[in-house]
Every structure is written in structure tokens, then in C-alpha cells.
């Protein structure tokens, strides 16, 4: 029954027998190149981490803390995994499809298992599962694999993950949250990998159809073919950007029970203000992207702080207040997000200069960041939170905006919001 439902959602694309061999070859080449590049990068990172392990050993942390010791073992495991992947590729001739597929399989399985060991070590030290979450989504995105390949891979890693955190985490509430989050993450990444694989098959089939048509009309359609290629590349780049936004937002909202649907609602409020102000299309796109990603820095905040039902301590609040800077740092690696970094970084600045992270005031705060600040605050007040029994009404939220106009918020934008929603 489950197989029938999946096939109804993702119907099989017709590929001829002659095309199947070429498709599989292209798929293996793509996966091999991405995995090889990632393995080289990972080897460099692990080398740096092993040096930090050496420093921790000199401080006596490896002998005195099981978390640091297990983290050291996980780094060694990753090095061994990468070496085994290269050896398996060489032994089966990495220039042929069999060797390339063996390399991808060994590297993917062992690296994902290694991430579960890191998350187990994190349980002893920080109570986090961030590495397992990020690596799971990473392999779902970079490798186009069949459903069975991913189901087996994630089932193995998920089993080890559950066993590891069960032994490492003593707090039953945190452990229960990790069980739920880990299960949701595995379901999401399997579903996401299925979507991307199907998209790859559909893309290949479409490309083959276009090639066949172009071979018949090559002389008369050269200019049209060039235009179609440019449009295809533009749409592909846009689609990849949307996939990144979708993946990052899903990761955050699966981690923090308080943020389910929050980003979309903030974007809704922000776009309503932008429409009322008549902002141009470029500002609207940047505002929408920033609103969707404004809280992405919370992905690196421990679950125990994000979902704490009571007031945060000073140290916990200091960690929570770091999320705008962490979010800007995460998004700085994304080419499409460069223009929205100031919005993400400064959406918690106050108009009177008492905000964070830099205490900007008045016009020094980016205009679009001031819009996100109002939209973010309104949704925070009118949505359920673990630390508050009842959300406020929109009327109460507007009264709070009026009270804080000129101190926390830009007075002109407060008036704009009231005109739209009052």
C-alpha cells in the first residue's frame, strides 16, 4: 500500500532501455564527483579536529570526559571511513562505474554512521544532535540515490543513533525530544531524497526528449535552443535556491517546537507591509528570503534552551541572543543570500539602540530589518509558545506595537502595520 501511494505521488518516468544505461552512468558520475570532493573537504576538516583532540589530550580532557574521548574516536572513524572509501574505489577501478558506485556507497554509509557517533559524543557534552541532522540532510541533497539505497542507509544510521543517545543521554525529557526529532528528520530526508531523485529522472527524460527534437530541427532552431538552455539554467539555479531555503527551514522547524510555521507567518506579515509601502520587486524578494531564514541561526542553539518552558538564565539568554549572528554566518555561504545577511543579522536591533547584536539605532538599522523586526514580534506575540500559556490577540499585539513605537520599533513602520492590520 505504501509503495502504491509513493508511485501515485511520484509516477515513474518512461526511460527507454537504451537510455537507462546512460542515465545510470551519469548518475554514478555525479554522485562520485560530489562524494569525492566532499571526502577531500571532510579529510581536511578532520585533520584540524584531530589537532584539537591532541590539545584536549594535553589538557587531560580525553581521559576525564567520555564525551571528548568518544569525539576523538569519531574523528578517527571518519578518517578510516574515507580511506576505506578510496581503497574500495581503487580496488574496483575508480575509472569504471562499479568502482565509483562502491566509493559512494562506502563513503555515504560510513560517514553517516560517523555522524551518529559525533551526536552521541555531543550528548555527553552538549545534549545536541545537530551533526546527525545536518549530515543526514547533506547526503539527501548531494547524492541522487534510489529509494531502497537511502532507506537502508538511514535505517542503519538511525538505529545506531537511537542506541547511542539512549546510552549517552540521562535526561528523559531531552531523550524523548531527540527520539521525536531524529525520527522526523529521517522521514524528511528519505522523502526529500525521493523528491530529488525523481526530479533527476524527470530532468534526464526531458533532456533526452529535447535532444531528439533538436537533432531533427538543429539548423532551423539554433537560436531557440540557445534561449531554452539559458532559461533552463536560470530556472535550475532558482530551483536550487528554493531547495536550500526549504531544507534549512524544515531543519529548524523540526528542531524547535516554538517555530512551527513561524517563518512563513513572519514572511506573510512582512510582505503585506512591503506591498502597502510599494517596495520594488528586488526588495520584496530579499525581504521574503530574509523573513523565511531570519531565525535559521537557532539551528545551532541547544534544544534544551529552545524548548525550555521557563525563563532562561543569563548564560542561556546569551546563547539565545547569538542566533542572529549565527544565522548570518550560516547564510554567508549561500550565494543567493548575500544581500539579505544584514537583515538576518540585525532583525533584533531596537530603534532606541538597546537591541542586539551591535546596538544599532534609528536609520543605522537596515530598513528591511526593521520590517522583519515588527513582523517577527507580532507573530511571537500571537502564536503559542512553550513558555506562555495563551497567545495574545492581534488587538493586544497592536497595542504593544503602539507602546513600543519609537523605542523598540520604527514609528513609521508601526503606523504602516496598523494601517494594514488595524
Residues with catalytic roles: 298
SS3 393: coil
Q: Please determine, for residue 227, whether its predicted confidence score (pLDDT) is greater than 70.
A: no
Question: What does the pLDDT read at residue 148?
Answer: 83
SS3 206: helix
The DSSP call for residue 80 is H
| CA pair distance 337, 344, nearest whole angstrom | 10
Alpha helices in 217-261 (DSSP H): 222-255
Question: What does the pLDDT read at residue 249?
Answer: 65
10 Å Cβ neighbour count for 357?
Answer: 15
Question: What does the pLDDT read at residue 231?
Answer: 47
Q: Are 372 and 396 in contact (CB under 8 A)?
A: no
Question: What does the pLDDT read at residue 275?
Answer: 93
26-31 — which CB contacts under 8 Å span 24+ positions?
26/204, 27/144, 27/200, 28/97, 28/100, 28/101, 28/104, 29/100, 30/144, 31/100, 31/101, 31/104, 31/142, 31/143, 31/144, 31/145
| CA pair distance 232, 207, nearest whole angstrom | 10
Cell numbers 532507506 correspond to what residue? Answer: 151
The shares of helix, strand and coil residues in the chain, as percent rounded to the nearest 5, are 80, 0, 20
Q: Looking at per-residue confidence, does 355 or 57 come out higher? A: 355
List phi, psi (to 5°) of 409.
-120, 155
Mean pLDDT value of segment 339-348: 93
Query: How far from 302 is each of 132, 162, 163, 306, 361, CA to CA, in Å?
Result: 14, 18, 20, 6, 30
Q: Please determine, for residue 1, whether its predicted confidence score (pLDDT) is greater than 90.
A: no
Band of the pLDDT at 364, cuts 50, 70, 90? very high
Per residue in 380-403, pLDDT tens? 888 876 666 678 889 999 999 999
Question: What does the pLDDT read at residue 412?
Answer: 94
Question: What does the pLDDT read at residue 138?
Answer: 85
| CA pair distance 43, 49, nearest whole angstrom | 10
Band of the pLDDT at 235, cuts 50, 70, 90? very low
Cell numbers 501515485 correspond to what residue? Answer: 8
Per residue in 60-86, pLDDT tens? 777 777 878 888 888 888 888 888 888
Question: What does the pLDDT read at residue 20?
Answer: 79
The residues, ordered by sequence, that sit 6+ positions from 171 with a Cβ below 8 Å of its Cβ are 127, 304
Per residue in 111-152, pLDDT tens? 888 888 888 888 778 778 888 888 888 888 888 888 788 888
SS3 323: helix
Band of the pLDDT at 369, cuts 50, 70, 90? very high
The per-residue b/e assignment along 64-97, b for 16 or more CB within 10 angstroms, e otherwise, is eeebbbbbbbbbebbbebbeebbebbeebebeeb
The residues, ordered by sequence, that sit 6+ positions from 394 with a Cβ below 8 Å of its Cβ are 378, 382, 421
> What structural domains does the chain harbor?
19-209 (no CATH), 244-421 (1.10.3210.10)
Amino acid at each position: 500500500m505504501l509503495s502504491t501511494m509513493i508511485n501515485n505521488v511520484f509516477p515513474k518516468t518512461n526511460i527507454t532501455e537504451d537510455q537507462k544505461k546512460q542515465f545510470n552512468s551519469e548518475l554514478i558520475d555525479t554522485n562520485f564527483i560530489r562524494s569525492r570532493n566532499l571526502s577531500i573537504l571532510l579529510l581536511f576538516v578532520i585533520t584540524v579536529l584531530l589537532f584539537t583532540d591532541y590539545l584536549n589530550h594535553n589538557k587531560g580532557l580525553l581521559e576525564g570526559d567520555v564525551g571528548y574521548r568518544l569525539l576523538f574516536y569519531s574523528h578517527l572513524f571518519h578518517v578510516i571511513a574515507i580511506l576505506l572509501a578510496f581503497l574500495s574505489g581503487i580496488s574496483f577501478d575508480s575509472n569504471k562505474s562499479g568502482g565509483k558506485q562502491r566509493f559512494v556507497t562506502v563513503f555515504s554509509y560510513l560517514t553517516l554512521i560517523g555522524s551518529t557517533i559525533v551526536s552521541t559524543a555531543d550528548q555527553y557534552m552538549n545534549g545536541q544532535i545537530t551533526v546527525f541532522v545536518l549530515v543526514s540532510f547533506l547526503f539527501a541533497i548531494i547524492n541522487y540515490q534510489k529509494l531502497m539505497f537511502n532507506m537502508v542507509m538511514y535505517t542503519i544510521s538511525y538505529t545506531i543513533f537511537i542506541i547511542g543517545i539512549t546510552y549517552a543521554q540521562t535526561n528523559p525529557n531531552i531523550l524523548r525530544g531527540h527520539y521525536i526529532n531524529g525520527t522526523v528528520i529521517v522521514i524528511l530526508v528519505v522523502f526529500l531524497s525521493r523528491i530529488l531523485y525523481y526530479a533527476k529522472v524527470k530532468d534526464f527524460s526531458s533532456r533526452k526528449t529535447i535532444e531528439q527534437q533538436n537533432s531533427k530541427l538543429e539548423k532551423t532552431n539554433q537560436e531557440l535552443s540557445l534561449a531554452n538552455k539559458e532559461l533552463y539554467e536560470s530556472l535550475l539555479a532558482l530551483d536550487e535556491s528554493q531547495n536550500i531555503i526549504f531544507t534549512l527551514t524544515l531543519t529548524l522547524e523540526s528542531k524547535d517546537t516554538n517555530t512551527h510555521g513561524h517563518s512563513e507567518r513572519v514572511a506573510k506579515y512582512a510582505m503585506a507591509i512591503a506591498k502597502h509601502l510599494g517596495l520594488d520587486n528586488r526588495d520584496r524578494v530579499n525581504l521574503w528570503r530574509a523573513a523565511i531564514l531570519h531565525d535559521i541561526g537557532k539551528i545551532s542553539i541547544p534544544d534544551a534552551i529552545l524548548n525550555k518552558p521557563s525563563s532562561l538564565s543569563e548564560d542561556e539568554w546569551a546563547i539565545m541572543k547569538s542566533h542572529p549572528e549565527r544565522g548570518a554566518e550560516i547564510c554567508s555561504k549561500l550565494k543567493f543570500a548575500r544581500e539579505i545577511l544584514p537583515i538576518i543579522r540585525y532583525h533584533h536591533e531596537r530603534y532606541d539602540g538597546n537591541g542586539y547584536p551591535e546596538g544599532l539605532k534609528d536609520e543605522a538599522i537596515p530598513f528591511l530589518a526593521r520590517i522583519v523586526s515588527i513582523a517577527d514580534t507580532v507573530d511571537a506575540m500571537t502564536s503559542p509558545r512553550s513558555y506562555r500559556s495563551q497567545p495574545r490577540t492581534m488587538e493586544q499585539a497592536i497595542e504593544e506595537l503602539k507602546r513600543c513605537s519609537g523605542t523598540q520599533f520604527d514609528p513609521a513602520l508601526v503606523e504602516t502595520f496598523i494601517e494594514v492590520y488595524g
